[in-house]
């Protein structure tokens, strides 16, 4: 079920505090901030930003900076609602900003970079971030957009340099969370946890606190500590009881602890409210693990519909498409999608997806090359180890397969409601 690294640190929630601060400056201050049980903090902050920007543009329609702010807020709104229609709105606002200020418009290029990252067009995101850097060489947020693009393109050293520049300029939540992801990809879990803890300590806005709690929970979950993961999710939910990511974490914990009914109820509520491809996929996998194959098939159909909506809005995510096709039992589609993604970028997640798709189509010798590339980073990723173990088993390398499968289950015995039991069964068979 651990699909979160597919979107990695591309979520711009860590930048919501910036949006909210600007919105406060734009607005008259008549409306009180959202408070009380059930206040969806992130959603409210972004909506306030959008409303304030729209109000200002009615008075000052040529304000390039406000058009850029509005476009960036629409990108974030797409993420938190799962509605790709906001991508078109974001692009329109950002292009309007550039029409009003075509030269040196760093905020618009930064917003277009964030939009391209959200659409998984990481090469375009890097190009826009470089334009933003030319205009705003000492602005930390520019390096966040650049680091996200470089990370997903597999340009690890360049991404690390961008994160370091971000830390030098503004050692706050966005910089520390990106540093944590860099550490995690290298297998340095302790340093990743320390960076996320520093981010949490630096949090001054509820949205940032929620973001940090979620990722601290994910780091604990990915390394097999359900109690710590649950504690982080629940502490985040005290701040925002409606945050989708934290509710996903709660449902995932329920599944890992064997409370399947609670987990399925949690996911059903979540996808009804935020039908993002990630949540639909996880719900489908969990339904299949519970033996509800027809319900799972319907969720996979909904996932396919949502993927088409995202594609129509300009998003290209062949990595997620490959993983979903593999889980649906369509290895040919999984392989074609993984190959397309690999031709665009060489990230460890893509190497792992390509390895698994090759394995499912019986091409295990080729698959092992990509599984080895995914493992070479040192990332403590149970899914990587499971896939590599199954490939090694198919090649008859029993001892190496046992080693890899054991590593997967030691790293996180709950990494997937379907694959973790399969790993245990395969390991028992090998022994």
Residues 246 and 170 in one domain: yes
In angstroms, rounded to a whole number, what is the distance separating the alpha carbons of residues 148 and 151?
A: 5
Domain co-membership, 231 together with 374: no
Section 70-81 average pLDDT: 92
| Domain co-membership, 118 together with 174 | yes
Angle subtended at Cα 245 by Cα 274 and Cα 159, rounded to the nearest 5 degrees: 115
Of 316, 348, 375, which residue constitutes the final position of a domain?
Answer: 316
Last residue of a domain, one of 271, 288, 316: 316
Q: Is residue 107 part of a domain?
A: yes
Angle between helices 140-153 and 173-185 (to 10 degrees): 20
Q: In sequence order, which residues have a C-beta less than 8 Å from that of residue 332 and are 6 or more positions away?
A: 361
For CA atoms 191, 192, 194, 198, give the dihedral sign.
positive
The pair of structure tokens assigned to 33 is: 């901030």
CATH number of domain containing 104:
1.25.40.10
- CB of 383 within 8 A of CB of 352? yes
The contacts of residue 329 (CB under 8 Å, 6+ apart) are none
Same domain, 226 and 346: no
Residues 262 and 130 occupy one common structural domain: yes
Q: Are residues 305 and 362 in the same domain?
A: no
Secondary structure string (H, E, C) spanning 82-133: CCCHHHHHHHHHHHHHHHHCCCCCHHHHHHHHHHHHHCCCHHHHHHHHHHHH
Of 288, 240, 189, 206, nearest to 17 (Cα)?
206
Q: How far apart are CA 363 and CA 395, in angstroms?
A: 10
Helix residue ranges, H only, 14-63: 16-26, 41-59
Residue 322 maps to a domain = no
Do 333 and 305 belong together in one domain?
no
Q: What's the average model confidence in pLDDT over 329-343?
A: 97
Confidence of residue 319 (pLDDT cuts 50, 70, 90): very high
**What would the DSSP string read from start to end of 250-290?**
HHHHHHHTT-HHHHHHHHHHHHHH---HHHHHHHHHHHHHT
Which DSSP category does 34 fall into? P
Question: Each residue of 263-294: pLDDT tens digit?
Answer: 999 999 999 999 999 999 999 999 999 999 99
% residues pLDDT > 70 (the chain)? 90
Query: Which of 380, 19, 381 shows the shortest CA–CA distance to 207?
Result: 19
Residue pLDDT, tens place only, 169-214? 999 999 999 999 999 999 999 999 999 999 999 999 998 999 999 9
Question: What mean pLDDT value characterizes the chain?
Answer: 91
> What does the CA dihedral 325, 329, 330, 335 come to, rounded to 10 degrees?
70
Residue 17 has pLDDT above 70, yes or no: no
Q: Residue 321: inside a domain, yes or no?
A: no
* Structural domain boundaries, residue 378: 328-430
Q: Does 92 lie in the same domain as 72? A: yes
Residues 337 and 255 in one domain: no
Per the domain annotation, does 137 fall within a domain? yes
* C-alpha pair distances (Å), 240 with each of 7, 83, 209, 266, 392: 21, 20, 9, 16, 44
The rounded distance, in Å, linking the Cα atoms of 22 and 25 is 5
**337 assigned to some structural domain:** yes
Q: Tell me how far apart the alpha carbons of residues 340 and 232 are, in angstroms, rounded to a whole number.
A: 37
Given this model, what pLDDT does residue 2 score?
A: 47
Q: What is the pLDDT of residues 374-426, one digit of tens each?
A: 999 999 999 999 999 999 999 999 999 999 999 999 999 999 999 999 999 99
Residues 55 and 112 in one domain: yes
| Same structural domain, 344 and 400 | yes
Read off the pTM. 0.88
323, part of any domain: no
3-class secondary structure, 381: coil
Residue with tokens 């971000």: 166
**For residues 163 and 150, is the Cβ–Cβ distance under 8 A?**
no
Judgement on whether residues 32 and 139 belong to the same structural domain of the protein = yes
Give the total number of structural domains in the chain: 2
Give the domain-ending residue among 286, 316, 346. Answer: 316
| Position 125 in a domain | yes
Does the CA dihedral 57-61-63-68 come out positive or negative?
positive
For residues 283 and 268, the answer to whether their CB atoms sit within 8 Å is yes
Q: Residue 42 — pLDDT band, cuts 50, 70, 90?
A: low
């Amino acid at each position: 079920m651990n699909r979160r690294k597919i979107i990695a640190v591309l979520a711009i929630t860590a930048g919501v505090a910036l949006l909210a601060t600007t919105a406060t400056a734009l607005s008259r201050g008549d409306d009180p901030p959202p408070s009380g049980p059930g206040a969806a903090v992130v959603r409210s902050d972004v909506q306030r930003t959008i409303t304030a920007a729209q109000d200002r543009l009615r008075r000052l329609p040529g304000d390039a900076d406000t058009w850029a702010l509005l476009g960036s807020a629409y990108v974030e709104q797409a993420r938190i609602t799962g509605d790709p229609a906001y991508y078109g709105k974001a692009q329109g606002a950002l292009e309007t900003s550039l029409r009003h200020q075509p030269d040196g418009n760093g905020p618009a290029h930064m917003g277009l970079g964030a939009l391209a990252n959200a659409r998984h067009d990481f090469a375009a995101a890097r190009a826009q971030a470089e334009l933003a850097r030319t205009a705003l060489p000492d602005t930390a947020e520019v390096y966040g957009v650049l680091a996200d693009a470089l990370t997903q393109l597999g340009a690890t050293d360049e991404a690390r340099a961008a994160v370091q520049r971000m830390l030098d300029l503004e050692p706050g939540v966005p910089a520390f969370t990106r540093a944590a992801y860099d550490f995690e990809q290298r297998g340095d879990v302790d340093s990743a946890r320390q960076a996320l803890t520093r981010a949490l300590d630096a949090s001054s806005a509820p949205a940032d606190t929620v973001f940090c709690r979620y990722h601290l929970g994910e780091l604990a979950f990915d390394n097999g500590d359900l109690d710590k993961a649950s504690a982080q999710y629940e502490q985040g939910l005290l701040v925002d009881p409606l945050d989708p990511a934290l509710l996903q974490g709660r449902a995932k914990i329920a599944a890992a602890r064997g409370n399947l009914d609670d987990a399925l109820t949690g996911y059903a509520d979540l996808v009804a409210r935020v039908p993002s491809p990630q949540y639909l996929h996880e719900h489908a996998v969990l339904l299949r693990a519970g033996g509800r194959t027809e319900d799972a098939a319907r969720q996979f159909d909904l996932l396919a519909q949502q993927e088409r909506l995202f594609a129509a809005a300009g998003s290209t995510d062949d990595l997620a498409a490959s993983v979903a096709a593999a889980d649906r039992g369509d290895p040919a589609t999984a392989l074609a999608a993984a190959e397309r993604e690999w031709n665009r970028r060489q990230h460890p997640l893509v190497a792992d997806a390509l390895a698994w798709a090759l394995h499912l189509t019986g091409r295990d010798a080729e698959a092992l090359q990509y599984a080895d590339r995914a493992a070479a980073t040192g990332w403590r990723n149970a899914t990587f180890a499971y896939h590599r173990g199954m490939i090694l088993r198919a090649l008859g390398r029993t001892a190496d397969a046992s080693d890899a499968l054991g590593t997967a289950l030691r790293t996180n015995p709950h990494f997937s409601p379907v694959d973790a039991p399969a790993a245990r069964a395969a390991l028992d068979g090998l022994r």
